Amino acid sequence: MHIRLTNTLSRAKENFTPADPSRVTMYVCGSTVYNHPHIGNARPAVVFDLLFRLLRAKYGERAVLYASNYTDIDDKIIRAAAEAGVEIDVITDKFARIYREDVGALNVLTPTFEPRATAHVPDMIALIEKLIASGAAYAVPSGVYFSVAADADYGKLSRRAQEDMQAGARVEGEDDKRNSSDFALWKASKPGEPSWDAPFGVGRPGWHIECSAMIAAQLGETIDIHGGGLDLIFPHHENEIAQSESANHAPLARVWMHNGMLTMEKEKMSKSIGNIVTVRELLDADWQGETIRWALLSGHYRAPLDWSDDLLKQAQASLDRLYGAVLRLKDVQAESVEAPSAFVAALADDLNTPAAIAELSALVTNANNAKKPAEQAKAKGELLAAGALFGVLQADPEQWFRASFGEHAALAIDALVAERVAARAAKNWAEADRIRDALSEKGVEVMDSGSGSAWRRRG
C-alpha cells in the first residue's frame, strides 16, 4: 500500500517514495521555548506524530529518522529571560521540559532527534560563510542578509512573485540591508544579548538559518518530508529553502506538508484576543491526554479546526466507546494481529483521520457484536492494534473511566459497586437493583463478568 501525501510544493497529492526506504527522514519545525505550549502548538506535534507512527509501521521503527527542534534563541526568549532576571537557558530548559511533558501526555512519541539551536551555532556560521562566499548573502553592520534577488527560485513554495515581496515590512534596525525583502541570517548583537563570535561579526543567528543548519546536521542536505503549520510557509519555509538550496544545490525536502490552523469559535487564536488555551490548562481541567489528541485528529490535518468544549466532549464520548468495548472483553486474551487494512488505508490516504475514525468505530461495533471466543479475541486484537497506530487506547480501560470521572467520584462509585456485589451475594436482588439504578443515574453502567463487576460511563 502506498502512502499518499499532499505536497505543498506541487499542490498535489502524490505517492510517497522515500529516497532510501531504510532511512526515511522527516523534520518538523518545533517549539520556541519561552512559555507553555497552547493547543495550536500541539496540533503539528500530534499530526506529525501520527505520520511518524504510520511511517514506522510501513518502513520499520529503526528506519524512520524524525527530527524536531527547539528554538532556544529568539527575541521573545531574550525578553522573557530579561523580565525574569535569569540567563536564557533557565527559561529554555524549563519550557523545553514542559513542552515534552505536555505533548507526551497526548501520546506524542519523542522524536529521534530533538536538536537545540544553540547547540548548532557553528553549523549555522559555516552555512552563512558558504552563502556569503557564493554571493547569495552579504554582510553589513547590522548583520548578514540573504539576497533574495540573487535567488531566481525564491517564492516557489509560497508561489509569491518576487515583485510582491519587494514591499516587505520594514524591520527595525535593518536599515542597511540592500532590499526590503532580504532577510537576516545573522544579527549583530546588541548590548546584554547572548552572542557568538563569527568571522562576519559578533552576533546571533536568525530564526530561519537555525532550521537549515539543524536539518543538514541531523538528517542530511535533502530530506524526504518537511512539515510544519500553514503559517510557516512564508516566510519561514520559503527562507529555509532559499538558504539550503543556494548553499547545497540540492532540494531541501522532497515533500512539504502543512497543517491547518486552529481557531476558537471561528476566531484565530491569539494572545491579543486572549482566546488561547494551553495544553496544561486542559489537562488540569481533567481532560485526558488521549481526548485532546483525538479532538486534534478529528478533522483532516490540512483543514482549519475549530476548538471547543463540544469537540472535546465528542472526543471523550468516542474514546469511551472504544474503551467500553475493550472493557467488555477484559477477560478475553487479544489475538496478536496487525491494524486492519481499511484503517491503515485511511491513514495512508494523506492522513485521512475522519475516515480512520469511522474505521475505528466499525471495529468497536465488530468487537461488541462478536460472540464466539475466537471472534472476540480477533476483534479485540484489531481494535487495540488500530488504537496503537492512532496513538490511543494506551490506558487500562478501568483506569480510563476512573480518570474521566475524577478519582473522588470514582471511589464513591467503587463503594456502590461493592455494596451491590454484597447484595447479590446475599441474594438481596431488590437492593442490588436499587444500587444499579442509582449508579445508572450517575451515568455509570455496571458490567458483570466471571472475574467480577467492572463499571464504565454509560454511552
Residues that bind Zn ion (CB under 5 A): 29, 211
User: Nearer to Zn ion by C-beta: 7 or 243?
Assistant: 243
User: Nearer to Zn ion by C-beta: 253 or 413?
Assistant: 253
If we measure between CA atoms, which residue out of 171, 201, 204 comes closest to residue 88?
A: 204
Identify any residues that bridge with 449 across adjacent strands, giving them in sequence order: 452
Question: For residues 304 and 296, what is the distance between their CA atoms, to the nearest angstrom?
Answer: 11
**Nearest-approach distance from CB 436 to Zn ion, in angstroms:** 56
**Nearest-approach distance from CB 26 to Zn ion, in angstroms:** 13
Residue pair 250/220 in contact (Cβ under 8 Å)? The answer is no
**Nearest-approach distance from CB 67 to Zn ion, in angstroms:** 11
User: Nearer to Zn ion by C-beta: 222 or 298?
Assistant: 222
Question: For residues 299 and 260, what is the distance between their CA atoms, to the nearest angstrom?
Answer: 10
CA 431 vs. chain centroid, Å, equals 49
Residues 6+ apart with CB under 8 A from 150: 135, 136, 246
User: Nearer to Zn ion by C-beta: 215 or 325?
Assistant: 215
Going by the DSSP 8-state scheme, the letter that residue 340 receives in this structure is: P
User: Nearer to Zn ion by C-beta: 29 or 339?
Assistant: 29
Residue closest to Zn ion, measured at CB: 211
Angle, CA 355 vertex, CA 354 and CA 358 arms, to 5°: 90
Residue 228's SS3 state is: strand
User: Nearer to Zn ion by C-beta: 211 or 241?
Assistant: 211
Question: For residues 335 and 22, what is the distance between their CA atoms, to the nearest angstrom?
Answer: 29
Going by the DSSP 8-state scheme, the letter that residue 24 receives in this structure is: E
**Nearest-approach distance from CB 45 to Zn ion, in angstroms:** 14
**Nearest-approach distance from CB 210 to Zn ion, in angstroms:** 7
**Nearest-approach distance from CB 398 to Zn ion, in angstroms:** 42
| Grid cell digits, residue 112 | 529521534
User: Nearer to Zn ion by C-beta: 182 or 238?
Assistant: 238
**Nearest-approach distance from CB 240 to Zn ion, in angstroms:** 6
Question: For residues 276 and 294, what is the distance between their CA atoms, to the nearest angstrom?
Answer: 19
**Nearest-approach distance from CB 29 to Zn ion, in angstroms:** 3
User: Nearer to Zn ion by C-beta: 185 or 315?
Assistant: 185
User: Nearer to Zn ion by C-beta: 227 or 324?
Assistant: 227
Residues 6+ apart with CB under 8 A from 335: 377, 378, 380, 381
Identify any residues that bridge with 137 across adjacent strands, giving them in sequence order: 146
Identify any residues that bridge with 258 across adjacent strands, giving them in sequence order: 228
**Nearest-approach distance from CB 212 to Zn ion, in angstroms:** 8
Residue pair 8/234 in contact (Cβ under 8 Å)? The answer is no
Give the DSSP H/E element, type plus range, for residue 359. helix 353-369
